[in-house]
Amino acid sequence: MELVQWRLLPLLTLLLSAAFFYVRRSSETSHSDCSLHSYTHYWIASKRIVTPDGLISGAVEINQGTITSILKEADWRARATRDQFIDYGDAVVMPGLIDVHAHLDEPGRTEWEGFSSGTKAAAAGGITTLIDMPLNSEPSTVSRETLKLKTDAAKGKIFVHVGFWGGLVPENALNSTALEDLLDAGVLGLKSFMCPSGIDDFPMTNITHIQGGLSVLARYKRPLLVHAELVQESDEKEDAVSDAASYSTYLRTRPASWEQAAVRQLVSATEETRAGGSAEGAHLHIVHLSDAGSSLDLIKEAKSRGHSLTVETCPHYLAFSAEEIPDGDTRFKCSPPIRDAANREKLWEAMMGGDIDLLSSDHSPSVPELKRLDEGDFLKAWGGISSLQFVLPVTWTHGRQYSLAFEKLASLWSEKPARLAGQKLKGAIVVGNHADLAVWEPEAELELDADHPVFHKHPSISAYMGRRLSGKVVATFVSGNLVFKQGFHATAACGATILAR
């Protein structure tokens, strides 16, 4: 009997080795579906790597989706075999962009965009994390149940990581139990509108609702994001109806005074977020600031007094001006509106000086019919700039004339958005962080013409089409997976949903 066992031992060993090889190969196959690079332990080398300590030449070591070491110059070569490193030469390697303001519209309005198309566009633009807004999907994300609809819809469809803001609406704003349930379900914070949102199940809030939301958020240490426009009486209504194709008409219907009135109320509400205040721990974030005048002055003053307050703007406010928008070209309609060239210069000055904290896309697509391009009616067209894939080259193209450095770019698009969304292991190339990286060539030029591969569901509605930009994204890594490379995506959508705990 012992002799039989002894003779069977080599066969058993062979069978076990084969089984191990099969399991290993199966695992590798699964990984290869998620990544266009076959290794889970490898190095990324470049002469321009953006770190919190500045720009370095060297390599980043990645193992199982995490950054495990960063070495300068050629020190890394002794620790990596040839088939385990990717040398990007002069291309810039920076932390993946984190877009805290995007409308992916699923479930319910997948024909507008959707998790698959939207996250493919994000990956093609160097964005590794998106935080989805609670409205434009159907239903809006205002409860534990509607958040589950979101997370269920995202399964197997997302090529980058996706988190979710919840909605602060009159229905839940003064009901602490309802808000706590939504926050306990995992939303990263709340979002509200101070003017009509255009979505029936996402009504506007008043300052009392906002104060109620802040009091609950103070216990969770999560932010409240606010669309800061407060409708004021206007004498422009008759003129607007008679000249709806004129961009100047639309601009007059949403003057800077709307933003100023809203910001004034918000600044008052954030008094209690200061140290020792009743809402200490809460944080208010003003989304897509357009007015660089009195609104910005109010924000700066509140910050100087210790209010827990931040503000973002968007690339379309930095790239376009009202004077250049053709009549009838409703691709440029958004709210707040794009203002004049002098205002644009002030926005750049404020951003470069640190008074504007971060950037977001406010990617807000729709079906082409809702943009009413054939009619050119600015008053009836859906408002929103479709931009997700282009925000990095747009920011870089226009930022060069303001001496925008790679480190500043990473701060605006990665570090500070990560902080707002509570993502402590994202936003910077440091040991221990998630290996979420964007690789791009600043000198390479792009023609956004009909031949350019665009992954938005409806490229025709983007105001950026037809533009010439600098800054080509060549690779995007999400948790170590190479999800986008030179126009191609990984076979499987292996991004993760992000829920607060």
Contacts of residue 268, Cβ cutoff 8 Å, sequence gap at least 6: 207
Q: Which amino acid is at 345?
A: E
- CA atoms lying within 13 Å on the CB side of residue 69: 11
What whole-number distance in Å separates Cα of residue 441 and Cα of residue 40?
24
- Residues 256 and 197: beta-carbon distance below 8 Å: no
* DSSP letter, residue 374: T
Rg (CA), the chain: 24
Prior bond of 139 cis (ω within 30°): yes
- Residues pairing with 280 in the sheet: 282
Sheet order of strands, 223-227 included: 166-167, 190-193, 223-227, 283-286, 309-313, 358-359
Phi-psi region of 442 (alpha: psi -120 to 50; beta: other; left: phi over 0): alpha
What whole-number distance in Å separates Cα of residue 188 and Cα of residue 235?
40
| Domains annotated on the chain, with CATH | 97-422 (3.20.20.140)
- Residues 48 and 92: beta-carbon distance below 8 Å: yes
pTM score = 0.93
36: its two tokens? 């266009």
Kindly tell me the sign of the dihedral angle through the C-alpha atoms of 447, 319, 436, 68.
Answer: positive
pLDDT in tens, the chain (501 residues): 433 343 444 444 434 333 333 333 333 335 789 999 999 999 999 999 999 999 999 999 999 999 999 998 877 777 766 668 899 999 999 999 999 999 999 999 999 999 999 999 999 999 999 999 999 999 999 999 999 999 999 999 999 999 999 999 999 999 999 999 999 999 999 999 999 999 999 999 999 999 999 999 999 999 999 999 999 986 444 444 569 999 999 999 999 999 999 999 999 999 999 999 999 999 999 999 999 999 999 999 999 999 999 999 999 999 999 999 999 999 999 999 999 999 999 999 999 999 999 999 999 999 999 999 999 999 999 999 999 999 999 999 999 999 999 999 999 999 999 999 999 999 999 999 999 999 999 999 999 999 999 999 999 999 999 999 999 999 999 999 999 999 999 999 999 999 998
Q: Which amino acid is at 145?
A: E
Kindly tell me the sign of the dihedral angle through the C-alpha atoms of 58, 62, 65, 66.
Answer: negative
Q: Which amino acid is at 5?
A: Q
What whole-number distance in Å separates Cα of residue 140 and Cα of residue 316?
25
What whole-number distance in Å separates Cα of residue 355 and Cα of residue 416?
13
